[in-house]
A and B are shown apart, each in its own frame.
Chain A
Amino acid sequence: MLSLIVFLPLAAALALAALPRLGDAAARWAWVGVAAVDLALVVVVWLQYESPATGELALEEQAEWIPGVNSSYHLGVDGLSLPLIAMTGVIFLACAVYALRETDRPRLQAALFLFLQSVSMGLFVAADLILFFLFFDLSIVGMYFVIAGWGRQGAGRSALKFFLYTFLGSLALLAGFIGLYVAADPHTFDMVALTEQTPLAGSSLAGGLVLAAILFGLAVKTPTVPFHTWLPPAHTDAPAVGSAVLAGVLLKMGTYGFVRIAMPMLPEAWRGWAWVMIAVGVVSVIYGALVSLAQENLKRMIAYTSVNHMGYIVLAVGAAGLVAGDTAEARSVAVTGAVTQMVSHGIITAALFLLAGVLHDRAATYDMAAYGGLAAPAPRFAALFAVGAFASLGLPGLSGFIAEFQVFTGSIAAAPVTAVALLGILVTAALFLRALQGILTGETRGSSVGFTDLRPAELWSVGSLLLLSLLIGVLPRPLLEVIEPAARAVVELVGR
């Protein structure tokens, strides 16, 4: 079943690439259809799913791949990955719907995004380090072609920077993986076996170095300060759907790696690095928010809020490493918050980037100063943008609140000093309110004049993402019931 979810989009991508005579409309709708079927399959998996025991996975599939180095084709899900594959399915479907109006080589674009969808799904269900790395690397390759092929004029430079920077991260990750393999006895790349073994336990220097390599690799992808500099240019030059996937799905590959690989496999080293992670998290939160506040370009602003939002996740997983007797419950709340934040940030930021894409589509600029009083000509755009902004700043009733509330409850209980990161929420609130005020209110002027409101494809894609955020905000239990056992398991594993 998981294999089908992973490879269905790839098969569709190959079919689309191999059919040059296919009409544009047929290609667009084929993309929507395949993305919808894939999401339906994820829903089926969600309904079948039962939480596995600590350190194990549900719905496992395994086949030999490279037995010489004990690497196998091994898939499985748990409470950490299931919400993320669901989010991936939702975001790709939203992008498919949004791209129904695409005119620039829609068949190839659909093929490329279906390829990316396969890769993203594969990464979140991979239970083997080499398989994980394979998907990690291919996600970079796929996104490079999205930015270089469909980005703005001159996007080649940002695409190159993105490729080189994140490839550096992926190589550091690979070095860490090889270190884990060599230290494990018997040698293996299998995640479940490595989690059970915790290789390098007891050798603090080697463990620290291997963790450093893995953390660096994941931190580049996440990205956290100071490894975030590839993100703003990549977003600014990427097409709207590319940004939505990059921020919504690809960034989660980094944070997912923390809870899937770094924490359970190197618990001792993780505890040693916990304060570093907390510091990086707090700096990312505050720095991301402040830089975001200074932006004039809407897309750059949203890009920097991603740095801020990823900071909450890093902060929470760092706090989870501060093992002390009576804080286990609090730490598992922090991890639950972190995973919820991954899902929540994914759908909200994807919605915001799609909305930014609408601005660029109509007036060819992301400059916030060029707009004013947009609420009058484009009420639907204004409403959705306002909801997205409030969701992103963490207003109760929307998913961002559920996530950030748990992150802070858990982190502050484990380490009261992390309360300084609350400043980040304040700044984020200020910057979103400022953006809302500047773009939507006042007299209709500049590029806002004659602005066409959201078309159905845009409305449906963005609207359903925000609706999902609202749903999670109001009824979080179904999601949290999946995440909580897995979060407790992670905290238990990191405490070994």
Chain B
Amino acid sequence: MRPFLLLPEILLFTGGLVVLLGGSFLPRERQWVARLTAAGSLLAAAAAAAVELPGPAKMAMEGTFTVDVTTGVVRIVAAFGTLVVLALVSDEIAGSARESETYALLLFATTGTLVLGGADDLLVVIVGFLLASVPLYGLIGMALTPGGAEAAMKTYLLGAIFGILLMVGTTLLYGVAGTTAYSELTEPLSDAPAGVLAAGVVAVLAGLLFKAGGVPGHYWVPDAAQGAGGAAAAFVTTVPKVGAVVAAYRLIAALPDVLNWPLLIGALAVGSMTLGNLAAYWQTDPRRLLGWSTVSQVGYLLVPVAVAGRSDLALPSLLLYLAGYTVTNLAAFGVTTALSERRDLSSYRGLGRSHPLLGASLVVALLGLVGTPPTVVFVGKLTTATAAWDGGHAWLAVVVLLNTLVSLFYYLRWIAPVYGREPYERTSAGAFTPLRWSSTTAVLTAAVSIGLGIGAGLLWQVVA
């Protein structure tokens, strides 16, 4: 069993339980204790993962869960991502009626993400999927606005459908392979009927792509980004991706080479990035724009998955991109939660003058999402595109670069008013009053995204 290999997951889950139960007994003005507990369990989980990181790969729970460098990176990235969300959420819900419940849901969803990231068995993937999905419905609906309710309903229904698809796929693969463990899957699947194999893999992938928010499971993403509270939107579009994309990578890497997997994943990747980019074009709500942009980012993240096992760069580039995407996307969302009332791109006019640091953070985050050097997403994009080319799929690298150009336009639509020449006094929205926690977090994460880009060599040594 070796349960202590799952120490980070255990820490997070018990942390969630403690916060949930303890929060019920805390008076409203002392809910910060719950927040502190949640932050503590996240830090402890990250520390436990970091201690385990350098060791060789180990199997836990009868070979259904792998603890290797990949799992370690997923754990650390997800824990820190949630920690950032915790900082963003402070402005929004401090002293509100649902404070400790929100923290508990965040911790449960993060646990699910970690389970997804380490799962080496399709049944564990299902467990991770459910554990990561169910808290999200609550988080999205927590905003108690009509938009939030609609988004929660949409996410719930889609989650139910895609969850069933995931289980159907697992059943199909079990039917032809006689096992659900990745380590034993390769052999029997190599002479399984191609149609069943393809259907099973596609169904499982569909479930994972719902979690990641990529085509074809992306419909809930823009609504959730727009309708949920800012911090919840940041969480659902960032942290679950980390586990889901890695789960997809592990599955593809375990499959026998009987069908053209790179073409399948490549098509999904191209679909995600192109659709996300085109749909983001004329959005006027910054959060909805970011929502679509995260759909396109899933496309880029799938590129190394497509060449899983065909290039030495695939896995390290995927992990690097995940880390970079997490910090950069949170920085962008951080700016929107700092200016929570501004729900139109034009209302950012003059931000660069009145709050230079926050404006600069927004520019760094958005240009970072484009993939401008020296931010860390540039290194991620460069290495994933190189991995695709190296794995014999140069066309995928070209599509990535073309989509990057397409995406630049809508990010610039947001940057333009921030540094527009019109003085901000003249705008109707009045003076900017950014929330303290969120703007500090946004500035810090933007700085980290540049720092990780410049120190990409060190980061690479960790993930490779």
Contacts and interface: CB of A to CB of B under 8 A. Distances in A.
Interface of A: 17, 20, 64-69, 130, 133-134, 137-138, 141, 145, 148-149, 153, 155-156, 160, 163-164, 167-168, 171-172, 174-175, 178-179, 181-182, 187
A178 B386 contact: yes
B389 interface: yes
B274 to A, nearest CB: 15
B82 to A, nearest CB: 27
Contacts of A175: 385, 397-398, 401
B386 A66 contact: no
Contacts of B386: 69, 178, 181-182
Nearest to A213: B398
A67 B316 CA distance: 12
Given A20-B356, A148-B416, A149-B419, A69 B383 contact: yes
Interface in B420-453: 420-421
A64 B458 CA distance: 10
Contact of A68 (B373, B374, B383, B421): B383
B80 to A, nearest CB: 22
Nearest to A173: B401
A156 B421 CA distance: 9
B372 A141 contact: yes
Contacts of B394: 179, 182
A134 B397 contact: no
Contacts of B420: 148, 156
Contacts of A182: 386, 389-390, 394
Interface in B385-414: 385-386, 389-390, 394, 397-398, 401-402, 404-405, 408-409, 412
Contacts of B76: none
Range, interface on chain B: 20 to 34
Contacts of A156: 416, 420
Contacts of A168: 405
Nearest to B401: A171
A20 B354 CA distance: 12
A240 B441 CA distance: 38
Contacts of A69: 313, 382-383, 386, 460
A155 B421 CA distance: 9
Contacts of A138: 372-374
A133 B385 CA distance: 15
B408 A167 contact: yes
B457 interface: yes
A137 B373 contact: yes
B409 A148 contact: no
A145 B353 CA distance: 13
Contacts of B402: 171
Given A66-B460, A69-B386, A179-B389, A160 B416 contact: yes
A66 B324 CA distance: 15
A160 B382 contact: no
B37 to A, nearest CB: 37
B61 interface: no
B367 interface: yes
A164 B409 CA distance: 7
B412 A68 contact: no
Contacts, number: 86
B423 to A, nearest CB: 11
B376 to A, nearest CB: 11
B252 interface: no
B456 interface: yes
Given A17-B356, A66-B460, 17 more contacts: A20-B356, A65-B457, A66-B456, A66-B457, A67-B461, A68-B313, A68-B383, A69-B386, A156-B416, A160-B409, A167-B405, A168-B405, A171-B404, A172-B401, A175-B397, A178-B382, A179-B389
B377 to A, nearest CB: 13
23 contacts: A64-B457, A66-B379, A66-B383, A66-B456, A67-B461, A68-B457, A69-B313, A130-B382, A137-B372, A137-B373, A138-B373, A148-B416, A153-B421, A155-B421, A156-B420, A160-B416, A167-B405, A167-B408, A168-B405, A174-B382, A181-B386, A182-B390, A182-B394
B258 interface: no
A134 B464 CA distance: 23
B367 A141 contact: yes
5 tightest CB-CB pairs across the interface, nearest first? Answer: A134-B373, A68-B460, A171-B401, A66-B457, A182-B389
Contacts of B408: 163-164, 167
Given A69-B382, A153-B421, A160-B416, A133 B373 contact: yes
B459 to A, nearest CB: 9
A68 B316 contact: yes
Nearest to A133: B373
A61 B367 CA distance: 29
Nearest to A67: B457
Given A171-B404, A181-B386, A182-B386, A67 B419 contact: no
Nearest to B397: A178
A175 B416 CA distance: 27
Contacts of A174: 382, 385, 401
Given A68-B313, A149-B419, A178 B389 contact: yes
B464 to A, nearest CB: 5
Contacts of A187: 390
Nearest to A209: B394
A172 B397 CA distance: 11
Interface in B199-248: none
B390 to A, nearest CB: 5
A69 B378 CA distance: 13
A176 to B, nearest CB: 10
Contacts of A65: 456-457
A134 B374 contact: yes
B380 to A, nearest CB: 11
B412 A160 contact: yes
Output the residue of A138, A145, A160, A174 with the most chain B CB within 10 A: A174
A164 B461 CA distance: 34
Nearest to B390: A182
A17 B316 CA distance: 36
Contacts of A149: 419, 421
A17 B364 CA distance: 15
A106 to B, nearest CB: 14
A24 to B, nearest CB: 15
A163 B407 CA distance: 12
A306 B171 CA distance: 67
A114 to B, nearest CB: 16
Nearest to A165: B405
Contacts of B421: 148-149, 153, 155
A19 to B, nearest CB: 11
Contacts of B461: 67-68
B156 to A, nearest CB: 39
